[in-house]
Amino acid sequence: MNALEHQLDYPFADTLPEPGHKLEVAPGVFWLRMPLPFALDHINLWLLADEIDGEKGWTIIDCGIASDTIKAHWEHVFDTLLDGLPVLRVIVTHCHPDHLGLAHWLCEGGARERWHVRLWMTLGEYMLGRVMAASAYFLPSARN
């Protein structure tokens, strides 16, 4: 246990959004949690109500790990939580697999290819992610 944890203030107490659901934490800012299959058992993701060139929609911040389970949670979000508005862009904060993993899939709009939006991230993080993905592909254990 962290000795300093008693100094932390949790504004939502024990309230957590279920996977594939959103919790508004500020006007137009929604918190999503998606599960992870290891000791750190979740990732926090964000939906922002947004507008680009007069078109209202959503910005997704971070993507979740590439897995069928997370894709299913995102499909639920697309089908039920976007108020009929499109995703306008996807922002990835850094190249860890739980943040970048589903970026391409999300930019294409999921299984139904609903929209085609640009990925926003720094060039350095993007290139590092590409190198990591290519390296993982070429590892002997990844080919089996």
pLDDT tens-digit map of 25-58 = 999 999 999 999 888 899 999 999 999 999 999 9
Neighbours of 91 (CB within 10 A): 17
Q: What is the pTM of this model?
A: 0.86
pLDDT tens-digit map of 70-81 = 999 999 999 999
Domains of the chain: 21-143 (3.60.15.10)
The residue assigned the tokens 């918190």 is: 31
